[in-house]
Amino acid sequence: MPRRTRRVASTATLVLAASALMAAPASGTDSPSVPEPPGAHEVRFATFNTALERPGQGLLAKELATPDSEQARNVAEIIQRVRPDVLLLNEFDHDDEGLGLRRFQDHYLSVGQSGADPIDYPYVYSAPVNTGVASGVDLNGDGEAVTEPGSPEYAEDAFGYATFPGRYGMAALSRYPILTDQVRTFQTFRWADMPNAMLPTDPETGEPFYSQEALEVLRLSSKSHWDVPIDTGRGRPVHLLASHPTPPTFDGPEKRNVARNHDEIRFWADYVTPRGGDYVYDDAGVRGGLAPGARFVIAGDLNADPNDGDGHPEAMTQLLEHRHIVDVRPSSQGGRGAAARQGGANEEHVGAPELDSADFVDEPGPGNLRVDYVLPSRSLPTRGSGVFWPTVDDPLFRLTGDYPFPSSDHRMVWVDVLR
């Protein structure tokens, strides 16, 4: 979270691999952090902010062209150990050809890492995100609209903070078919079109922070919001509702990122409420929220902790206390141990440290937080959950570690649901 994160959207890219589904359990470790494989009638949904973003366009795909990236190997091994059936990747740079994703599958996921079994995802959904896409207007309030990619000033005026299009992208990987003809994306939905939007104001003047010109184009999603239906073989699909809201920091007294994070999260709360999402329109111009009774799982790095950190105090309660959503509170002993070991801001936290999913700067900084979520609908019975955060005496602690992290500053979060 305390890094800048946002995203871009446009036409969707589907990558279909020819390989078959695999269900073999991971092997070669006595780690207590590795969950048992999901049962025959269960589907494991997971989210993982991989931190596989790079400072230049095309650099990630180039790095993944060989099997030599230590970070990518560690990320892949975590995936192989937990073995999710449906996985949302955050902070994986998007390229329109899907080259980075194909190379990650071929050179990393399809190769057993340190004794773990390979894993194959025949179905992949990726689409453009708003990060690094020029807005053409002044969004940071410095009086200038920067449209040349590469600089921090450009990133501030992009629809989502990034120095080039596609940075901090996301992708959905699945071992079950993705119903691509039913996918809905909301990349271009305007923030101002949300009723009673929490649009920021200048605290000194009380005037809107954004100009009318900016509000005419400013998109709600800092990356994108996706509704990705997954055919789990039970007649009705499960809708993966994927997003990666902006972190509620890196702004000024107007708290524009706090407000945007709140409303990006609110989008899903409205979308799954009957009639609550009537105002929503997708990138194809189709209006309305999720059909009543539809099964869903909200997943992603939502960059908001319900108790601690810099976010709006009501941002996550919109989902965690929603009548159609279940929070099974995935946890880990590694998260509890890290908070106690690292101290700093963690000592002042109200939230339970075993629920943390990100290892952030402790002093000065927000400390470790719960920001990554897998939230099923009440119509999906749950059977298990967890956060992959090994304790220091666990043989797999080498995959997460302490700063500088061998994989990511975020931990994978997973929940098993009946399909």
Can you say how many angstroms the Cα of residue 297 is from the centroid of all Cα atoms in its chain? Answer: 13
Burial category of 275 from C-beta neighbours within 10 Å (exposed 0-12, middle 13-18, buried 19 and up) = exposed
**How much is the average pLDDT of 306-322?**
98
**How much is the average pLDDT of 151-177?**
98
Residue 13 reports pLDDT greater than 50? no
Q: What is the reported pLDDT for 98?
A: 97
And the tokens for 402? 């302490």
Percent of the chain with pLDDT over 90: 92
Rounded Cα gap, residues 225 and 186, in angstroms:
5
Q: What is the reported pLDDT for 235?
A: 86
Contact residues for 56 (Cβ-Cβ < 8 A; gap 6+)? 164
In 3D space, the residue among 347, 417, 337 whose CA is nearest the CA of residue 377 turns out to be 417
pLDDT tens-digit profile of 218-255? 999 999 999 999 999 988 999 999 999 999 999 999 99
pLDDT tens-digit profile of 54-112? 999 999 999 999 999 999 999 999 999 999 999 999 999 999 999 999 999 999 999 99
For residue 39, which phi and psi values (nearest 5 degrees)?
A: -70, 175
**Strand 295-301 and strand 372-376: pairing?**
antiparallel
Residue 263 reports pLDDT greater than 60? yes
Q: What is the reported pLDDT for 234?
A: 83
* pLDDT, averaged across the chain: 93
Q: What is the pTM of this model?
A: 0.94
Q: What is the reported pLDDT for 30?
A: 80
Residue 417 reports pLDDT greater than 80? yes
Q: What is the reported pLDDT for 28?
A: 52
Residue type, 403: Y
**How much is the average pLDDT of 321-349?**
97
Rounded Cα gap, residues 279 and 301, in angstroms:
25
Percent of the chain with pLDDT over 70: 93
Rounded Cα gap, residues 191 and 90, in angstroms:
22
In 3D space, the residue among 49, 14, 9 whose CA is nearest the CA of residue 185 turns out to be 9
**How much is the average pLDDT of 162-174?**
98
In 3D space, the residue among 127, 246, 107, 103 whose CA is nearest the CA of residue 178 turns out to be 127
Contact 133, 152 (CB under 8 A): no
Residue 2 reports pLDDT greater than 70? no
Helix (H) or strand (E) holding 330: none
Q: What is the reported pLDDT for 363?
A: 86
Can you say how many angstroms the Cα of residue 245 is from the centroid of all Cα atoms in its chain? Answer: 8
**How much is the average pLDDT of 115-136?**
98
Helix (H) or strand (E) holding 375: strand 372-376
Higher-scoring residue by pLDDT: 266, 5: 266
Domains and CATH numbers, the chain: 8-418 (3.60.10.10)
Give the largest Cα separation in the chain, rounded: 62
